[in-house]
Amino acid sequence: MGNDRWRSFRSVLKETDLWVAVDAGKYDRSIEGFTLERIRFYRNILDDFINKHPEFRLSLKPVKITEGTHPLILDMGRAADNAGTGPMSAVAGAVAEYICNDLIREFGLNEVIIENGGDIFMKLASPATISVYAGSSPLSEKISLVISPEETPLAICTSSGKLGHSLSLGKADACTIACHSGALADAYATAFCNQVKSNDMVLGVTEKALKKPEILSVIIIMDDKVGLGGTLQIKI
């Protein structure tokens, strides 16, 4: 994404691979170095905590987290509690949110989009359109969320039972969840993707997801079936 509005770059450290776009008028090369340092900072927090509490990485269910740990860890734990998943289901969305907020505070940026393994966190000054990639489904990139600035900060996280390296117990091509919290959107995307075992379950799982007050919008795609709804504008 290189145009008058955005300046984008990648920031990679070990398994973490971020795509970052910031408002072009405020771009500075130091933003790239700062982003890499924040990745290292949050990875160290996670690694230190997991070394002491290996169940945090291994569990597929919520785990008890003692107050007093870093807010990133607490946010992941709370998201897992809400979604009924293991806390690492929230990691990509949580890290994207924290780094987005760090960039805004440090550089006074008006707009930031961070994509972390298919999970997005954004702050906008003008509308933007985010399409849903659903692999080999004929609906892939045919359905989009149109996001207005007043709806941000916002997370849009996608889990798939067919794509990527993350563990999934479901079979949806894409389960996309929008929340104001990156950790919550990521954990809920995992949880509801896990529940889609066949395409005749798509609508039922979508309706179930929309009952969660934290969830703003849902798009679930499996093969040629789609379930969608919520408060955000959806473009087909």
All structural domains of the chain with their residue ranges: 6-235
Distance CA 189, CA 212 (A): 12
Beta strands in the chain (DSSP E): 6-13, 16-23, 112-116, 119-123, 128-131, 144-147, 154-159, 174-179, 217-222, 225-230, 233-235
Tell me if the pTM is above 0.85.
Answer: yes
Nearest to 98 by CA among 117, 126, 72, 134: 72
| pLDDT per position as a tens digit, 151-179 | 999 999 999 988 766 667 789 999 999 99
Cβ pair 18, 115 in contact under 8 A: yes
Taking residues 141-150, report their average pLDDT: 98
What is the pLDDT, as a whole number, of residue 164? 62
Does residue 182 register a pLDDT over 90? Answer: yes
Does residue 99 register a pLDDT over 70? Answer: yes
CB atoms under 10 Å from CB of 72, counted, come to: 20
What's the CATH number for 6-235? 3.10.520.10
Does residue 29 register a pLDDT over 70? Answer: yes
Mean pLDDT of the chain: 95
What is the pLDDT, as a whole number, of residue 169? 79
Q: Which residue has the tokens 């563990």?
A: 167
Q: What percent of the chain has a predicted confidence (pLDDT) above 90?
A: 91
Does residue 68 register a pLDDT over 80? Answer: no
Phi-psi bin for 229: left (phi > 0), alpha (psi -120 to 50), beta?
left
Sign of CA dihedral 178, 180, 182, 186: negative
Nearest to 6 by CA among 150, 20, 146: 20
Does residue 216 register a pLDDT over 70? Answer: yes
What is the pLDDT, as a whole number, of residue 166? 63
Taking residues 138-156, report their average pLDDT: 98
What is the pLDDT, as a whole number, of residue 27? 97
Nearest to 178 by CA among 153, 149, 160: 153
Does residue 2 register a pLDDT over 70? Answer: no
Taking residues 14-37, report their average pLDDT: 96
Does residue 103 register a pLDDT over 80? Answer: yes
What is the pLDDT, as a whole number, of residue 162? 81
